[in-house]
Amino acid sequence: MNNPHITAFKFPNELEFLYKCFYLSKDTDLKRQAISKVRSYLTKSPIPHSIEITALLMEAMLEDETQTGVKLFKYEERKTFLTSSNNPTATDLNIRLQYSMIMVKFVNGLLDPFQQSMFNISLHKLAVELKLPNYFVECRHICTHERLPSLQMLRMITQRAYQWLRVEYWENILNKYKSLDLLEVNETRWNMSLMNVKRTHDLKTLQQKEQNGDIFSKYSLKEVENLLKSIRKDRKREIQEKVKLQSVVDDTNKLKHLIDTKNASNIIQIMIFRNVLLLQTEKNHDVNEKQLVGMRMIWGTILQNLDVTFVTKLWIELFKLSTSTTLVNYGTNYVEECIINNKPIKYLKSETEIRQCENWIKWILENITFIDKSNIGEIVQLLFTQSNASRICVPILNNQYSALLTEVNCQEKIATLEKTIQRFWTNETNFKKRTLEDVELNILDDENTNKRTKTSINLFDSYSSWRPIPFGCPPPI
């Protein structure tokens, strides 16, 4: 890939405009406008030698027409012709000097960059390699070392140089731009391209943030929800028709992939708060046993096929929610906002949802083997939270994981906890119903309190009775 070049012009169609002004337009004002445009380019950065020389040649010919009254341009078959002067007695020295200087600059600018050897190569040899006619080199030599050529000769050479640049540079470069569809690029298309580049960059940034777990996009939210809806629909069909559908297997694999590639905590919140594992009921209507059995039949098989690490996180989240004694009424928009902004939801809306959480905690603990040495300590610690969920889980854990509890020295803790539950714990029935605004206000108050009570950490302890004493002297008694 070629390295990018900084150009004085913004779009390639600006060169096309210059070409049309120099070679196709009969309007002298347009030609002068093109010359001014090239001069403005020179103030920005270096420009191709051929563009600068084209402007200088055009300027010299227009100056010749103005001073001598000669008509140098006739637009016939892409050729220019020389006509007789209307004022043959006018002085021509200034015009000849201008033409001569431009021809010297024209040849030197083309051939000097090719002088790459230790010793100078003949300009005639370089001109052959560049397909530059030799009479340009001869004209340059005469203008530099001999008497100035006649005005008629300089006019003819200048116009031939002007046409040579048209064929060898302008038409060549414009054809290349045209083949790449670059001449169609204008301000509007460029802005659209920048918007597309920015949109692509923003999308990549969004995807990177999503992979890092910083955010969870609306697209990902819809993707997970649609996949879960598809699984639920196919599982109902499997249960009703007593068949096995390949679509369920495929969708389960897709769900595993999403769990691996996206933030698993957000997927857990979708499964809990978006009417998947927990039925969102209105006015605290209770969920009957038939509905609970139906939910377990639909989603139990799916949970058994998911990764154990994900199931562990799901179980812990369900347990923490079931131990909360605060109920908060919030809408679906709040849930969506929290999921997208990676903000955890700490409260359920009704006692019915708490009972469903307890039901799922019990079922997962009984039917999925997800507890091992790496997480049993954390789970035992959770069970010390006074709640109905702990009362349900302790006997199951004691029966199914007795050997593991003994191995990690937690059997005594569970036995003590079981006795404590039987003697002192009561069923939790008093729930505080609060608004979302109150909960968020309390969170802000807690954060401000923590900021105020934050203790400073000193590198050295200070003593109020300390007095400075010279080094080597004993302290006073």
Evaluate whether residue 465 is within a structural domain.
no
On whether both 253 and 268 belong to a single domain, the answer is: yes
Q: For residue 447, what pLDDT is reported?
A: 47
On whether both 371 and 413 belong to a single domain, the answer is: yes
Q: What is the 3-state secondary structure (H, E, C) of 391-453?
A: HHHHHHHHHHCHHHHHHCCCHHHHHHHHHHHHHHCCCCCCCEEEEHHHHHHHHHHHHHHHHHC
pTM as predicted: 0.53
On whether both 255 and 334 belong to a single domain, the answer is: yes
On whether both 249 and 222 belong to a single domain, the answer is: yes
From first to last of its 477 residues, the chain has per-residue pLDDT tens of 456 677 888 888 889 999 999 999 888 999 999 999 999 999 988 899 999 999 999 999 999 888 888 887 764 444 444 554 445 444 688 899 999 999 999 999 988 887 776 667 788 888 888 888 988 989 989 998 988 899 999 999 999 999 999 999 999 999 988 888 777 777 777 777 777 777 777 777 766 766 665 567 778 888 888 999 999 999 999 999 888 899 999 999 999 988 888 888 888 989 988 888 888 766 546 778 888 888 889 999 999 999 999 999 999 999 898 888 888 888 778 888 888 888 888 888 888 888 889 899 999 989 998 888 888 888 888 888 878 888 888 888 888 888 888 888 888 888 888 888 887 777 666 777 777 777 666 654 544 554 444 555 555 666 666 677 777 777 665
Give me the number of domains the chain comprises.
3
On whether both 239 and 181 belong to a single domain, the answer is: no
Evaluate whether residue 64 is within a structural domain.
yes
What the block records as the tokens of 136 is: 């340009």
CA distance 6 to 17: 19
DSSP 473: S
On whether both 308 and 390 belong to a single domain, the answer is: yes
Evaluate whether residue 417 is within a structural domain.
yes
Span 107-118, pLDDT tens digits: 999 888 877 766
On whether both 110 and 254 belong to a single domain, the answer is: no
* φ and ψ of 329, to 5 deg: -90, 115
CA distance 179 to 174: 9
Length of the chain: 477
**Which domain range does residue 204 map to?**
186-211
Q: For residue 100, what pLDDT is reported?
A: 93
189 Cβ contact partners less than 8 Å away, ≥ 6 residues apart: none
On whether both 138 and 57 belong to a single domain, the answer is: yes
Evaluate whether residue 41 is within a structural domain.
yes
C-alpha closest to that of 264 among 296, 232, 306: 306
On whether both 191 and 175 belong to a single domain, the answer is: no
On whether both 364 and 420 belong to a single domain, the answer is: yes
Evaluate whether residue 129 is within a structural domain.
yes
